[in-house]
Structure 1
Amino acid sequence: MVLFPMCCILLMFFMLLSCFSLSIKASFNLTLPHQHPHPQIVVDELQWKVNASLSRRELHDQACLTGNPIDDCWRCDPNWAANRQRLADCGVGFGRDALGGKGGQIYIVTDSTDSDPSNPTPGTLRHAVIQDVPLWIVFSDDMTINLKHELIFNSYKTVDGRGANVHVTGNGCITLQHITNVIIHNIHVHDCKPSGNTKIRSSPTQVVARGESDGDGITISSGQKIWIDHCSLYSCTDGLIDVIKGSTGITVSNSYFAKHDKVMLLGHDDGYMDDKGMQVTVAFNHFGKGLVQRMPRGRHGYIHVVNNDYTKWEMYAIGGSAAPTFNSQGNRYTAPSDPNSKEVTKRVDTKESVWSEWNWKTEGDIMVNGAFFVPSGSGSSDQYAKATSQQAKSASQIDQLTMYSGVFGDLRFHHYIYIYFILPFQLSNYI
């Protein structure tokens, strides 16, 4: 008589435990293996690092301190060139765990040619990025690498352009597909054109047949733990950065974007459900002149847009479809003069009755020249809870946080002069 109710109690307990477990999984939507179950923890951690770096700058009279937690992590070391791999410890946001080639050997690129993508020459960038072992890739000198076809990476690689003026351009440009742990730092990527219908070596033992690429600057497809930092991207055929097909654990930081239409796409298409697990941090970037839209445009995933500087746009800055989450914190949005393009946000091809449920938040953002952000969503669940322990630092610090955006040594004025006047003349020599 006593055993029967006890059995019933145990049965009810395991049923409740099972339901609780399922609800937790549904709540955090663990679609992808590298997806963080509590994105707000990552958001709070980044804000804590920004606040701590700005406080250190106020307390210590060191010219090397900027308040930018990534740069302050390594730039104050006068011997950084002898300890390049420290950079891998400086990541923030969802891509903070990207190791790149940390622990691997230094590979010095000495040859800027790209004559045979199926059998790359030792000493070239293509030969370096396809290797099966972790490598920290640096450059012997300034160089322009005019690609013959897309540059396909293998996992555990860092491309470190510090100390040289490195340009990657030409056909296909950079492809990170089905790989993990890549850092791309301090290079120019520009004027990328479609290519393909050819065979390209993707590892020392494998040559793959490739269809036609879109002409993106950097494509991340089914990639995890990827960090793009201090790059300058402009004037490609399709997107400057595309993150698609279940990629997650991505940070795009300290980069400079200019002279382009579709800047950054985060999500393959509205029907690609694996992108619900996509988590991307967009931080400390400068979105400069001549940009039209997609800064970024998201689908499904969680996108933290923090401490970026937006210098006008032609259509919109933040856009999306298929219910992405946008957490916008401490950015400066400067609207264009066109009275019809003042809105920061755009819900693409979606009725208000639908997008009103999407979680799009603005916190601590500064709106300039009539810019305005239309928020939406209840934000009541834990996944989308508003940060309370670490509030976004005022966007009044944005000049300080983004002053070195893009490739080091290319300050904003020099970017403008180079992209609009010098570069077109240089490229005419390749035609």
Structure 2
Amino acid sequence: MLQKTYILLIFYGLAYFLPLGTSMLNLTLPGTHPDPEAVAHEVHRKINASITRREMLALSQKDESSCLTGNPIDDCWKCDPDWPNNRQRLADCAIGFGQYAKGGKGGEFYIVTDSSDNDAVNPKPGTLRYAVIQNEPLWIVFPSNMMIKLSQELIFNSYKTLDGRGADVHIVGGGCITLQFISNVIIHNIHIHHCHPSGNTNVRSSPEHYGYRTESDGDGISIFGSKDLWIDHCTLSRCKDGLIDAVMGSTGITISNNFFSHHNEVMLLGHSDHYTPDSGMQVTIAFNHFGEELVQRMPRCRRGYIHVVNNDFTRWEMYAIGGSGEPTINSQGNRYMAPTNPFAKEVTKRVDTEEGMWKGWNWRSEGDIMVNGAFFVASGEEVEVKYEKAYSVEPKSADRISILTMSAGVLGVARDNNLGMWSRGPNGEGDDITDSGGLEYSDEMSLSARNTISCYSITLNNSRTMPLQCVVAMLLFSLE
């Protein structure tokens, strides 16, 4: 029965994108890097070089060094005083496994002038939906603050960049962002929040094709069978399912400089323990701030090679990094701050797996700082040989985390995602944009909120009784 399910999934993907041919399905297969430790090594080299430049210039040229943070991504473009006129330089600044994501580099600029999303099959020119379905590379920009309330999943075509720099752009509503069987997408400086399930209707994926979509999960960003992707400086919170999910053979992904908060299941990497194509999944998670009211999955990994480097984890409710299906997890130079709950100090969690099975999994912690009793349970055999290249340049000490992650999330505005109301313009002037939003913008729409957290604490403290809503919440927690 399991094999039949996979066959149906693949057939559905091919049928939905039939005009694109089977080559789209194979996009992810050649995207796996043959030497992931070398990629980790290169990430550290770039971090070291950026921090060294910052320290040297701070001594001799204070005015010129003010833009330098030691964060190699930001230093790559922010130190150009004319960056608004050189926006596409951003495409050369990624690091890690997603460094080959070119987005819309070389393409025309597309200016989003219409924030509406009234027709998922025949979107109007000027809308974001019209831009992301086009076949040609596009660099998509926003001339002013904007809330885009989606009616259905926003399905991208390949070679697109969402560049929200200079404006305060929020994407909310039905389905949110879907990257399915595509490549080369950059999403930068966008608020993504309060995403909820949508579907059971037709949605256009290209100028030539639209098709019927079943109900979506309500992820902030859903990645399915895609490669060469970079998600940078976004602020994500309060979605119905995951904030970022990558499954079904996706690879070549960098998730960097983002701010995550107010959510239960933050990030899922891998479709299932038995889906072997996800063994080629390679993801870099760097310079992110995992903030308040997060519960679990930062990330939760199935198979693949996941490099978690120089992130700031400021508490969790259950665990920070989890996995099953024998993923490789390379944790380097992070700061892990455990919650006050004495039963939730462990950073790691092997999900539904006995110790005898996970003892050989390659999970390593190198140069991490553990705060408030946090501890990382490492595992694996012959780890020294396997990680030799990754360690040949040591990750910068986690005491630099505050510098490396100080600008995580959308740049220039408050990190937290409110309920769709703000009054901040690109230069400080207010646009006074508001959206009442209705019930779909309530915090209860994500299964993270405080009921689930308090119920988890009740269970850990061996309470003999549990309210009915806690039983329901714990059952939902266990669903994969």
Q: What is the 5 A alignment of 1:169-318?
A: 169-318=172-321
Q: Write the deviation string for residues 198-219 of structure 1: whole angstroms up to 9, x where unpaired.
A: 0011001101111110000000
- Structure 2: distance between partners of 1:252 and 1:429: 29
Identity %: 63
Q: 2:170, 2:420 within 8 Å by CA — same for their partners in 1?
A: no
Aligned to 1:415: 415
Structure 1 position 140, deviation (Å): 1.6
The letter of the residue matching 1:173 is C
On the 8 A contact 2:41/2:389 being kept in 1, the answer is no
Pairing partner for 1:159 from 159, 162, 175: 162
Residue among 85, 88, 102 paired with 1:82: 85
1:356 and 2:353 correspond: no
The AA in structure 1 aligned to 2:90 is L
Farther-moved stretch of structure 1 (209-218 vs 375-384): 375-384
Q: For structure 1, which runs of at least 5 residues remain unmatched after alignment?
A: 1-30
Which one of 42, 53, 60 corresponds to residue 45 of structure 1?
42
Residues 153-210 of structure 1: CA distance to partner in whole angstroms, max 9, x if unpaired?
Answer: 0000000000110000000000000000000000000000000010011001101111
Aligned with residue 53 of structure 2, among 56, 66, 77:
56
Instruction: Note the C-alpha offset of 1:71.
Output: 0.1
Conserved in 2, the CA contact under 8 Å of 1:379 and 1:386?
Answer: no
CA distance in 2: counterparts of 1:415 and 1:427, whole angstroms = 19
Name the CA shift for 1:228/1:127 in 2 (closer, same or farther; >3 Å): same
Per the TM alignment, residue 283 of structure 1 is displaced from its structure 2 partner at its CA by 0.2
8 Å Cα contact 1:359/1:379 also seen in 2: no
SS in 2 for 1:376: coil
The Cα of 1:377 is off from its aligned counterpart by 0.2
Q: CA 1:228–1:379 in structure 2 vs 1: closer, same or farther (change >3 Å)? A: farther
Unmatched 5+ residue regions in structure 2? 1-27, 423-432, 440-480
Per-residue deviation, residues 41-67 of structure 1 (Å, max 9, x unmatched): 100000000000000000113110000
Structure-2 residue corresponding to 1:102: 105
TM-score, normalised with respect to structure 2: 0.80
Q: Partners in 2 of 1:89 and 1:421 — Cα distance? A: 32
Out of 377, 397, 404, the position equivalent to 1:401 is: 404
The residue matched to 1:91 in structure 2 has which SS?
A: coil
Structure 2 CA distance for aligned equivalents of residues 329 and 338 of structure 1: 25
Which structure's residues are more often strand, by fraction?
1
Which amino acid in structure 1 is aligned with residue 165 of structure 2? R
Report the equivalent of 1:23.
Answer: none
- Taking the aligned partners of 1:105 and 1:359, their CA distance within structure 2 comes to 44
Change (3 A) 1:421 1:83: closer
CA distance in 1, matches of 2:31, 2:292: 35
- Secondary structure of the structure 2 residue equivalent to 1:274: helix
In 1, distance between residues paired with 2:72 and 2:326? Answer: 31
- C-alpha distance 146-234 of structure 1, shift in aligned 2 (>3 A): same
Residue identity matched to 1:47? H
Q: Look up the match of 2:139.
A: 136
TM-score by length of 1: 0.89
Residue aligning to 1:10: none
For each residue in 1:397-417, what CA deviation from the matched residue of structure 2 results, as whole angstroms up to 9, or x when unmatched? 00000000000013xxx335x
SS at match of 1:387: helix
The CA distance in 1 between the partners of 2:397 and 2:317, in whole Å, is 25
Task: Count the aligned residue pairs.
Answer: 396
Could you tell me how far apart the structure 1 residues matched to 2:143 and 2:412 are?
Answer: 18
